[in-house]
């Protein structure tokens, strides 16, 4: 049986974390817009970095966690792992919408085009569509065990795709620049910009936690209602 009281408590914790993250997000953007210098080549458009890159980080982190939890579920058959994996996937899709929206907005003034089918852009779109399929599968399959097994197979693909997406700028010639933080040498930007970017990444990470906790709690409550309906029908 689903513990509804525990689910509601998890939802409240998630809401608190989300509110704190939103306050932090506002503070970061005040810093980015008012106290972080304008990049000399790209101009004001470069400030989209402080939204786009953290959203990409949060989306790929969410998909990677979904993949890891999916693998663990197939090994341990613990329904909690599947529930968190599903919540993480849905939150990752929300962040990837931000990523795929802000990217073209930034790219248009810098590259002269909204979209181009280079390796980084194509692979991020592919993983977005993959997880749309993941959630569609979960909604189409009624049996919870079959649903968890099938969706876990799709989720595990993220364990390959996430590092591949990061490495595309090394494997292929793309319009995307090489990483400015996740690389062996020092960051490719001034320290004040690095601090702003890291703060934004941290806030998006906290926001991911808050969203995922709330989505996990909503999933538990939905299962509780389904159990109550099944018992009433019996």
Considering its fold, how many domains does the chain have in total?
Answer: 1
The pLDDT, as a whole number, for residue 56 is: 95
Closest to 54 measured CA to CA, from 112, 103, 126, 118:
103
- Let me know if residue 230 belongs to a domain: no
CA pair distance 88, 75, nearest whole angstrom: 19
* DSSP code at position 35: T
Statement: residue 142 has pLDDT above 60: yes
Cα dist from 74 to 69, 71, 84, 162, 188, whole Å: 9, 5, 14, 20, 41
Evaluate if pTM is beyond 0.85.
Answer: yes
The pLDDT, as a whole number, for residue 91 is: 98
Q: Per residue in 58-82, pLDDT tens?
A: 999 999 999 999 999 999 999 999 9
Statement: residue 100 has pLDDT above 90: yes
Mean pLDDT of 125-146: 94
* DSSP code at position 39: B
Statement: residue 187 has pLDDT above 70: no
Statement: residue 226 has pLDDT above 80: no
The pLDDT, as a whole number, for residue 182 is: 59
Tokens representing 30? 């005040």
- Let me know if residue 183 belongs to a domain: yes
Instruction: List the helix and strand counts (H, then E) for the chain.
Output: 6, 0
Domain range for 165 is 4-225
185 band by pLDDT with thresholds 50, 70 and 90: low
The pLDDT, as a whole number, for residue 186 is: 61
C-beta separation of 152 from 73 below 8 A: yes
The pLDDT, as a whole number, for residue 183 is: 58
Closest to 26 measured CA to CA, from 207, 234, 233:
207
Statement: residue 201 has pLDDT above 80: yes
C-beta separation of 93 from 155 below 8 A: no
217 band by pLDDT with thresholds 50, 70 and 90: very high
- Let me know if residue 189 belongs to a domain: yes
Q: What percent of the chain has pLDDT over 90?
A: 69
The pLDDT, as a whole number, for residue 37 is: 93
33 contacts: CB under 8 Å, gap ≥ 6? 47
142 contacts: CB under 8 Å, gap ≥ 6? none
- Let me know if residue 49 belongs to a domain: yes
Distance of CA 109 to the CA centre of its chain: 26
- Let me know if residue 232 belongs to a domain: no
The pLDDT, as a whole number, for residue 123 is: 93
Statement: residue 32 has pLDDT above 90: yes
173 band by pLDDT with thresholds 50, 70 and 90: confident
């Amino acid at each position: 049986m689903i513990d509804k009281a525990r689910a509601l408590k998890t939802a409240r914790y998630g809401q608190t974390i989300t509110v704190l993250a939103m306050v932090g997000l506002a503070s970061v953007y005040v810093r980015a817009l008012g106290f972080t210098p304008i990049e000399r080549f790209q101009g004001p458009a470069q400030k989209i970095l402080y939204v786009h890159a953290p959203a990409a980080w949060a989306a790929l982190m969410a998909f990677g966690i979904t993949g890891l939890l999916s693998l663990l579920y197939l090994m341990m058959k613990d329904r909690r792992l599947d529930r968190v994996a599903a919540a993480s996937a849905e939150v990752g899709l929300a962040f990837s919408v931000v990523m795929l929206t802000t990217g073209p907005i930034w790219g248009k003034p810098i590259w002269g085009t909204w979209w181009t089918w280079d390796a980084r852009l194509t692979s991020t779109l592919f993983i977005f569509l993959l997880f749309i399929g993941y959630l569609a599968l979960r909604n189409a399959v009624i049996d919870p065990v079959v649903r968890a097994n099938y969706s876990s197979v799709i989720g595990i693909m993220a364990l390959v795709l996430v590092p591949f997406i990061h490495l595309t700028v090394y494997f292929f010639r793309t319009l995307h620049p090489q990483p400015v933080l996740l690389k062996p040498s020092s960051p490719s930007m001034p320290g004040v910009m690095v601090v702003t970017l890291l703060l934004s990444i941290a806030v998006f990470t906290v926001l991911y936690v808050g969203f995922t906790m709330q989505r996990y709690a909503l999933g538990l409550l939905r299962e509780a209602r389904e159990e109550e309906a099944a018992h009433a029908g019996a």
